[in-house]
Structure 1
Amino acid sequence: MSNSSFNIRWSEVIIESLIRHQMKYICIAPGSRSTPLTVAATSNKKLCCYTHFDERGLGYFALGISKASCKPVGVIVTSGTAVANLYPSLIEAGLTGEKIIFLTADRPPELIDCGSSQSIRQTYIFASHPSQQLMLPRPTRDISAKWLVSAIDNCMNNLHHGAFHINCPFIEPLYGEIEGNYDWQQSLGNWWNSDVSWLTEIFVNNEFFANDWCIWNKKKGVVIVGRVTANDGKEITHWAQALGWPIIGDVLSQTGQPYPCANLWLEHPQAKKILKQVEIVIQFGSSLTGKQLINWQLSCNPKEYWIIDKIPQRLDPANHLGRKFTCFIKNWLDNHKPFYSNLWCEELLNIAQKTKFYIHNKLKNKLSEASIAYQLPELLPLNGQLFIGNSLIIRLIDAFAQLPIAYPVYSNSGAKGIDGLISTIAGIQVATNKPTLGIIGDLSALYDINSLILLRKPSAPIVLIIINNNGGQIFSTLSIVNKLKQDYYCMPQNVNFRHAAEMFGLEYFISNNWLDLKIKVQQFWCNQNKSLLLELVVNGDEGACTLKELVKEVIKL
């Protein structure tokens, strides 16, 4: 069998092995050295294949698919800097838990460090960031297909969260007629006709239970909810309400935030006094957004601080005395039934509701960065989903909006970077086929503008709101010289996105009236298979200043 044919046979085993671990989607960038992997993937009828010319965006596109589907997603790229472009999305997956399999084609060892074209040192290039790594040898008949499939299965069996990097060196020729000799593959026998993995690993399912829960569930507790799933957010809300404990829900909590605007009222003197009585804090999920909530998390001193999340990290920057339960949230809730009780801090709920009413009177029916954050729930599509970009806008939504309970909300909240946001939105929509509202900042849009092409032919309507506040206005409140702040932090670009929408074939809309904007978005949800880029031009630091001012005003309520 020729080298080109054996490269493909080797790749077919890799791809089929990954499919047995629920990999349904694979995202492919163009490249010569990755041809064996691309041919193997596109020839396998069990896979949905997608492409993008920008490897950085491709990695985030896969991240979005995995985020929404809760399944492993593959990525194929060629050798060289194409591999390095995957680094940001790989890091994000490690922090937020999505399972991404990065298949990177490589030159064989004899072509490294000798001036050969497009050859870099790729082995373990991602250092400690992947959860699993497999540095394969060049394809050779001297290694059995049983070893290859077992090695991949072993890594996938141990991939509980984050990225799996498989580095795949291939020797030339990479192209040619594919010969029909399957002898090397046939050592796997009937495995080819099954749908199970070659190597299965049995894990003992530890049931996480606190033996003293019957004592703690009668104490004065507070529930903090970070990034969790829609179903978990709903279950946590009902569970906490049964206990009579207040819920401080992050923008990504999907709890319905029954104590809205927490990042305003947490500074209220009476709220601080009430929260000093807390004996136990239970936190579900991580990646908290609001500054005031983070400050309270760091400063609170309960007798016990418990964290429940499937990600195997401490997730507690304050290092409280307490317990970390590394498990699925639903399993933990099922094992820790609430002790039904009345709300122990009625006044805290009154403060939250009073704050929400105050914000309503300040921001309702206006068109600004702060008001669009408050009124965002009115733009959400029925049976749809929301993606919120990082930077200032997510902080404003967290502070002002009250999102519906169990409504799917996504964000790249791990490393909290502004790269890859548009491509992540595209991936989320691909995985769910739901109407999708995305809202990001102007610098974020510029950072990933190539990925607007991924929104060209959606399976359901997409509305992408770009908040154009002319730069990184999250830095506008920094206490530094204004010229330095503008030139090196905010960095105003003085651009508009009309031509970008036209270039990538998207509809475009700009408005200076809230009612017109609302009508346009609500009508657009009736359109099929179209994307709308909606640009909202706002005064530079208005959003940041409004947030700062309202925190001060709420203290006096």
Structure 2
Amino acid sequence: MIYPEIELAQSIIEICKSKNIQHIVISPGSRNAPLTIGFASDPFFKCYSIADERCAAFFAMGIAQQINYPTAVVCTSGSALLNYYPAVAEAFYSQIPLVVISADRPTDKIDIGDGQTIRQQNVYANHIIYNANLNEKASTQNDEAIQNAIHHAITKRGPVHINAPFEEPLYNTVTSLSINPLLIDYKTVEPTETAIDRYALQWKAASKKLILIGVNAPKSLSQNTLDFFANDPTVVVLTETTSNVHHPNFVYNIDTLITPFTHEDFLEFQPELLVTLGGMVVSKRIKSFLRKYSPKTHWHVDLLRFYDTYDCLSDSIEATPELFFTQLQQQLNHYKPEIGYQLWVNTLLKERQIQHSHFLKNIAFSDMKAFEILIPQLPPNSQLQISNSAAIRYAQLFPIAPSIEVFCNRGTSGIDGSTSTSIGAAVGSLKPNILITGDIGFLYDSNALWNNYIPKNYKIIVINNRGGGIFRILPGHVENDIFHTYFETNHHYDLSHLAKMHGFDYYQAEDEAGLKSVLTDFWSKVEKPALLEINTPTQINNAILKDYFNNLVK
């Protein structure tokens, strides 16, 4: 066993080990050599070498997303840690525990013209849970700061930054530890008890209760709680693909339901009580509705974050939703809800489903047709990662089997890092993992495939419409050179070359028959990771989507 000679590096490594942080993603460099040597030499750690720092951080975030525990990502000094920033911001808003450990020059080398130096301390200040700016020498002060950072990552669920200055020589090693870090035993803080009586009275009094579930971890709500929602006729539950919640009485396709609403419909749909659970919500239409037709009362139930997304938040309930609703049910004595709200919505949903099915039978091959074919054929018990922009929006229109877990980087909703995150998630979960992404998002993060840890059963599906199709859907679309060049970023790339370079099996589909034909082989092959490129027409996707919503009638 060898250790870095630098004692500060020894402290960081030993404290990570004591806190059971096993997954270490290393971006190759020189200044972080003491950390690299120490982590890679200890069999306790599972180390990964990812050269592209932006990909490395999203890969680490994907692992942390799945194991629900901090993963560390380690880099050299200078601009390296700036490339971690997109993943840091995503982890911050998605509440994913990520430990960024950056090597730095000693303080006296900053801003004097020395090479590969920037002002690293507090560099993530606006999107970080905790900053640990260490001193050059090992000390109890440093030990405490390192452990405070890790503790915050675990309890506050977000990214933390440990910045460690190292002086040369960097590569020297020793055969025994020269430090004995001070270890802190943090006490578990129990959440304060919720005053359920008041909420039970409000629940009983509201004849129209709307529950909106955003990004949500699989299996975080029990069947008993789901049935409690579903069996109350005054409750309508709106879910999204990323909610990971399923019940026949729930609305999974929010935009399909509310897009055709008139002003009178919106007034009828306006809740007295809004209850929100989980993280970010994809649907812009539901956000617009709730801001315009505000409920009298809005509860958000969570342990950590209480965003006032709809400008009407009245109660921040600090509890897990499962615990809160279990306690609430126990207080609802002699509760006899009125029939009406849920029945009205369910009647509309049946009509919408008829129109939905009729419309899909007659559309040309397109992005929407591709999703209609793909979603029902996803392998059971697999994990689906979806990229942002058009892909996650199309996915909202189709039901997904309850056995499939769904994830998307909705914290910042950026296209960067979706592929890297999904590969990290595949490594962290050990489940069959499928990424559905658009061509621009895939090309933007193509260095994610520069990775030696991709499981053999990992699969990517790229909807290639030769540009940023989302811009054809958004307001402001005009067919001219400015739109094609600076918004849509039209291209003519064939993805087979990337697949070949990175050792992926490659499949391609150009039409409906071809897609249905190729899927059986695509799903069944597990000897190598596989990429399926689905080429859809550039011009008609936006028209089909608009026609879809225009054809939804009451």
The CA deviation string for residues 354-399 of structure 1, in whole angstroms up to 9 with x for no partner, is: 212322222259642012223433231221110110011211111x
Q: Distance in 1 between matches of 2:329 and 2:44?
A: 42
The CA deviation string for residues 27-74 of structure 1, in whole angstroms up to 9 with x for no partner, is: 111001001111121122222111111000000001111111111000
Q: Is the 8 A contact 1:93 1:99 kept in 2?
A: yes
Tell me, yes or no, if structure 1 residue 293 matches structure 2 residue 279: no
| Structure 1 pair 213–388 and aligned structure 2 pair: CA distance change class (3 A) | same
Who is 1:71 aligned against? 69
Who is 1:266 aligned against? 258
| Structure 1 pair 300–210 and aligned structure 2 pair: CA distance change class (3 A) | farther
The CA deviation string for residues 290-326 of structure 1, in whole angstroms up to 9 with x for no partner, is: 22222122223222111123342x3222320421223
Q: Distance in 2 between matches of 1:389 and 1:120?
A: 32
Who is 1:437 aligned against? 434
Out of 12, 15, 21, the residue aligned to residue 14 of structure 1 is 12
Who is 2:460 aligned against? 464
Q: Secondary structure at the match of 2:251?
A: coil
Matches within 5 A, 1:307-326: 307-312=300-305, 314-326=306-318
Q: Distance in 1 between matches of 2:447 and 2:494?
A: 15
Aligned alpha-carbon RMSD (Å):
2.3
Q: Is the 8 A contact 1:59 1:86 kept in 2?
A: yes
Q: May I ask how many residue pairs the two structures share in their alignment?
A: 534
Q: What is the TM-score normalised by the length of structure 1?
A: 0.90
Q: Distance in 1 between matches of 2:9 and 2:521?
A: 47
Who is 2:210 aligned against? 222
Out of 415, 425, 428, the residue aligned to residue 422 of structure 2 is 425
Q: Distance in 2 between matches of 1:5 and 1:387?
A: 38
Aligned identity (percent) is 25
Q: Distance in 1 between matches of 2:339 and 2:22?
A: 46
After TM superposition, give the deviation of residue 529 of structure 1 in Å: 4.9
Q: Distance in 2 between matches of 1:186 and 1:212?
A: 52
Q: Is the 8 A contact 1:508 1:532 kept in 2?
A: yes
The CA deviation string for residues 447-472 of structure 1, in whole angstroms up to 9 with x for no partner, is: 11111233x65435122111111111
Out of 456, 464, 475, the residue aligned to residue 471 of structure 2 is 475
After TM superposition, give the deviation of residue 124 of structure 1 in Å: 1.1
Out of 111, 114, 125, the residue aligned to residue 113 of structure 1 is 111
Code of the residue aligned with 1:120 in structure 2: it is I
Q: Secondary structure at the match of 2:189?
A: coil
Out of 48, 60, 63, the residue aligned to residue 62 of structure 1 is 60
After TM superposition, give the deviation of residue 415 of structure 1 in Å: 0.6
Code of the residue aligned with 2:102 in structure 1: it is T
Q: Is the 8 A contact 2:133 2:162 kept in 1?
A: yes
The CA deviation string for residues 108-163 of structure 1, in whole angstroms up to 9 with x for no partner, is: 122211221111111111122110110111135xx3xx433322222333331211
Code of the residue aligned with 2:220 in structure 1: it is D
Tell me, yes or no, if structure 1 residue 154 matches structure 2 residue 148: yes
Query: Structure 1: which 5+ runs fail to align?
Result: 189-196
Who is 1:164 aligned against? 160
| Structure 1 pair 534–302 and aligned structure 2 pair: CA distance change class (3 A) | same
Q: Is the 8 A contact 1:77 1:104 kept in 2?
A: yes
Q: Is the 8 A contact 1:102 1:163 kept in 2?
A: yes
Q: Distance in 1 between matches of 2:283 and 2:388?
A: 12
Code of the residue aligned with 1:305 in structure 2: it is H
Q: Distance in 2 between matches of 1:104 and 1:27?
A: 12
Q: Distance in 2 between matches of 1:493 and 1:72?
A: 38
Matches within 5 A, 1:273-284: 273-276=267-270, 278-284=271-277
Who is 1:192 aligned against? none
Tell me, yes or no, if structure 1 residue 407 matches structure 2 residue 404: yes
Query: Structure 2: which 5+ runs fail to align?
Result: none
Code of the residue aligned with 1:166 in structure 2: it is I
Q: What is the TM-score normalised by the length of structure 2?
A: 0.90
Code of the residue aligned with 2:9 in structure 1: it is S
Q: Distance in 2 between matches of 1:541 and 1:300?
A: 36
Q: Secondary structure at the match of 1:378?
A: helix
Who is 2:230 aligned against? 241
After TM superposition, give the deviation of residue 273 of structure 1 in Å: 4.2
Q: Distance in 2 between matches of 1:104 and 1:414?
A: 23
The CA deviation string for residues 222-268 of structure 1, in whole angstroms up to 9 with x for no partner, is: 11111001113564533311333111112211123732422022133
